[in-house]
């Protein structure tokens, strides 16, 4: 049977962000999938080099609007790692509180969109209805519904108001009840089960080979969670790491629903701790000494990694960002191939891809000769080769000869 | 034109395009049609094609890769089409002001714009207010 090519995107009503999928099908079966990114590139890493450390945190917050705490969390870890800055205990609890509330709203958002993709618009509306009180809590705590601007090097930028605790508890109770309801509905509903069970399976081997992280990996039986593995703030609270073994879309849904309930419990532990733990919430850092630092955090989608190199000035010399979707998106190659086209969309959505997070590099296209597409590495290598010919007069320079010996 | 303006005030159809934003404004736009705000009760509806739309919502700093597509979208739409830039990014660039990959700061550099709703992200109430204020200026 001849192959047929189905282009999807970049501006498609189903896709929230601009991305381009090139799906090749034989009959109804997906045989290959390619994707093109780069639509959302804004040059964060370069802008970050022109901003001070405190400003950088506000900048990395705007890498992604959905997980807008995970990037500052990891960036702050990286900046603190240079000097081993100690964080006050109250600040640690506030960080956990913000991070877990964000996990709740991000997973609810995914749950809604997943429902929308498989034709359960009611689930979409309900999930987003439960998400709204979470955003209102954020507005009370930080002053903004999204982009909370809570993080600073050495702590948090504003204190948590203990008077808000009685207002937050009813929302948490409601969320736990509704999540148990959705978990029960997912188990009982025969249509939802047959639509998601066994669809888009990512085996454990494939998950490890593609370096999948976060719920995508945990649904495939890979036991990783940066919150538990790195510890740091999260040593203060108890939580289980949910690992399921089938690797299909259904398990990814169940992992996320269970994680919402776990996050609710972590937030409850924080709320219990707030009245007991007083004192400072910011350990003011005046200067970051020369050196390197890395920071990791378990974002709702997986592991966020930030690298900072400091030369002792008030600006980072290099700021590298690796988002979870960067390693999760290529798992499409393993999970989408061989399934019917109608299941491809929910499989694409199941890893909760975030393209805004991912797009850190740019490809340069030669305008005069459009067939030639260089990437920066090839350009750099070609320039070296040309220089070798021009300067040394041959393709081999003294360095090459040393390596030959 | 007066006849059209009279009709468009009753029920506006909106198309939303994300032009290299941070996703936040897009999520807040989607929030508008969910039960928290439910703008469909005012007759405002998100549609799947720009050819059906009366209002085009653009979010984000328009990168060089996206800019030609945004122009194409604008050309495809039936006129008159009202363009609203959502978020500070479209108006002044916010933290991306110094980015090397920005074609549209402000968005007027790419397509004609009727109104901006600023904020990072603007609250859903502000977006509704912006759309209604724009419609209020029509005669």
Q: Report residue A358's pLDDT band, with 50, 70 and 90 as the boundaries.
A: confident
Q: Which of A13, A38, A64 sits opposite B65 (nearest CB)?
A: A38
Q: Are residues A271 and A384 in the same domain?
A: no
pLDDT at residue A342 in the model: 84
Q: Are residues A174 and A291 in the same domain?
A: yes
For residue B47, the chain A residue with the least C-alpha distance is: A13
Q: Do the chains contact at B20 and A40, CB–CB below 8 Å?
A: yes
Q: Are residues A313 and A378 in the same domain?
A: no
pLDDT of residue A107 exceeding 90, the answer is yes
pLDDT at residue A23 in the model: 87
Q: Give chain A's domain count.
A: 2
Q: Minimal Cα–Cα distance from B59 to chain A, Å? A: 11
Reported as a single tens digit per residue, the pLDDT across A325-335 is 888 888 888 88
Residue A69 falls inside a structural domain = yes
Please give the mean pLDDT across all residues of chain A: 86
pLDDT at residue A374 in the model: 47
Q: Which of A39, A59, A66 sits opposite B65 (nearest CB)?
A: A39
Which range of residues forms the domain containing residue A393? Answer: 374-404
Interchain CB contact of B17 with A (< 8 Å): yes
Residue A329 falls inside a structural domain = no
For residue A63, the chain B residue with the least C-alpha distance is: B22
pTM, two decimals, is 0.88
Interchain CB contact of B21 with A (< 8 Å): yes
For residue A365, the chain B residue with the least C-alpha distance is: B65
Q: Are residues A382 and A315 in the same domain?
A: no
Q: Which residues contact A402 (CB under 8 A, 6 or more apart)?
A: none
**Phi (first) and psi of residue A241, to 5 degrees:** -105, 120
Q: Which residues contact A359 (CB under 8 A, 6 or more apart)?
A: A37, A38, A39, A40, A41, A42
Q: Are residues A309 and A379 in the same domain?
A: no
Q: Are residues A301 and A381 in the same domain?
A: no
The two three-digit tokens of residue A21, written as one number = 């999928």
Residue predicted with more confidence, B67 or A372? B67
pLDDT of residue A270 exceeding 80, the answer is yes
Q: Minimal Cα–Cα distance from A186 to chain B, Å? A: 21
- ipTM given for this complex: 0.90
Chain B residue numbers touching A51 (CB-CB < 8 A): 95
Of A16, A9, A8, A5, give the one whose Cα is nearest residue A353.
Answer: A16
Residue A298 falls inside a structural domain = yes
Q: Are residues A51 and A133 in the same domain?
A: yes
Domain B17-136 has CATH 3.40.50.12280: yes
Q: Report residue A108's pLDDT band, with 50, 70 and 90 as the boundaries.
A: very high
Interchain CB contact of B19 with A (< 8 Å): yes
pLDDT at residue A221 in the model: 92
Q: Is the dihedral of CA A315, A320, A322, A326 positive or negative?
A: positive
Q: What is the mean pLDDT of residues A386-397?
A: 70
CATH classification of the domain holding A184: 1.10.645.10
Chain B residue numbers touching A64 (CB-CB < 8 A): 22-23
Q: Report residue A260's pLDDT band, with 50, 70 and 90 as the boundaries.
A: very high
Reported as a single tens digit per residue, the pLDDT across A188-223 is 888 888 888 888 899 999 999 988 999 999 999 999
For residue A58, the chain B residue with the least C-alpha distance is: B95
Q: Are residues A391 and A263 in the same domain?
A: no
């Amino acid at each position: 049977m001849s192959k047929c090519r189905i282009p999807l995107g970049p501006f498609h009503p189903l896709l929230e962000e601009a991305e381009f999928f090139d799906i090749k099908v034989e009959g109804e079966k997906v045989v290959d999938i390619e994707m093109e990114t780069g639509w959302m590139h804004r040059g964060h890493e370069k802008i970050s080099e022109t901003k001070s450390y405190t400003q950088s945190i506000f900048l990395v917050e705007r890498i992604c609007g959905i997980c807008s705490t995970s990037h500052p969390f990891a960036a702050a870890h990286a900046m603190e790692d240079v000097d081993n800055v100690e964080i006050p205990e109250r600040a640690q609890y506030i960080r956990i509180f913000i991070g877990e509330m964000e996990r709740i709203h991000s997973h609810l958002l995914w749950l809604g969109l997943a429902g929308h993709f498989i034709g359960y618009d009611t689930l979409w509306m309900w999930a987003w209805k439960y998400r709204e009180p979470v955003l209102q809590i954020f507005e009370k705590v930080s002053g903004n519904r999204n982009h909370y601007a809570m993080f600073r090097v050495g702590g948090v930028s504003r204190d948590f108001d203990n008077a808000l605790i009685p207002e937050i508890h009813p929302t948490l109770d409601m969320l736990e009840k509704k999540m148990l309801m959705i978990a029960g509905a997912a188990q009982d509903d025969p249509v939802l089960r047959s639509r998601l069970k066994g669809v888009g399976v990512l085996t454990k081997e494939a998950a490890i080979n593609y370096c999948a992280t976060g719920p995508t990996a945990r649904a495939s039986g890979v036991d990783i969670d940066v919150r538990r593995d790195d510890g740091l703030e999260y040593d203060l609270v108890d939580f289980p790491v949910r690992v399921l073994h089938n690797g299909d879309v259904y398990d990814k849904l169940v992992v996320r629903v269970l994680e919402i309930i776990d996050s609710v419990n972590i937030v409850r532990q924080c709320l219990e701790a707030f009245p007991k733990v007083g004192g400072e919430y910011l350990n003011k850092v005046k200067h970051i000494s020369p050196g390197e630092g890395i920071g990791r955090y378990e974002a709702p989608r997986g592991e966020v990694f930030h690298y900072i190199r400091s030369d002792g000035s008030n600006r980072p010399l290099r700021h590298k960002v690796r988002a979870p979707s960067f390693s999760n998106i290529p798992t499409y190659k393993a999970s989408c191939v061989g399934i019917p086209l109608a299941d491809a969309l929910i499989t694409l959505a199941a890893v909760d891809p975030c393209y805004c997070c991912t797009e850190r590099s740019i490809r340069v296209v030669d305008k005069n000769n459009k067939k030639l597409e260089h990437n920066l590495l090839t350009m750099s290598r070609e320039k070296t080769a040309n220089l070798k010919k021009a300067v040394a007069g041959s393709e081999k320079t003294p360095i090459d000869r040393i390596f030959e010996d | 034109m007066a006849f059209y303006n009279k009709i468009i005030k009753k029920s506006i159809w909106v198309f939303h395009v994300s032009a290299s934003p941070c996703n936040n404004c897009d999520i807040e736009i989607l929030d508008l049609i969910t039960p928290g705000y439910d703008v469909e009760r005012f007759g405002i509806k998100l549609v799947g094609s720009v050819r059906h739309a009366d209002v085009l919502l653009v979010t984000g700093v328009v990168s060089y890769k996206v800019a030609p597509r945004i122009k194409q979208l604008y050309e495809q739409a039936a006129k008159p089409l009202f363009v609203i830039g959502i978020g500070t990014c479209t108006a002044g660039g916010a933290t991306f002001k110094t980015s090397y990959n920005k074609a549209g700061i402000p968005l007027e550099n790419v397509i004609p714009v009727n109104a901006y709703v600023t904020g990072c992200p603007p609250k859903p109430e502000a977006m509704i207010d912006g759309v209604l204020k724009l419609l209020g200026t029509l005669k």
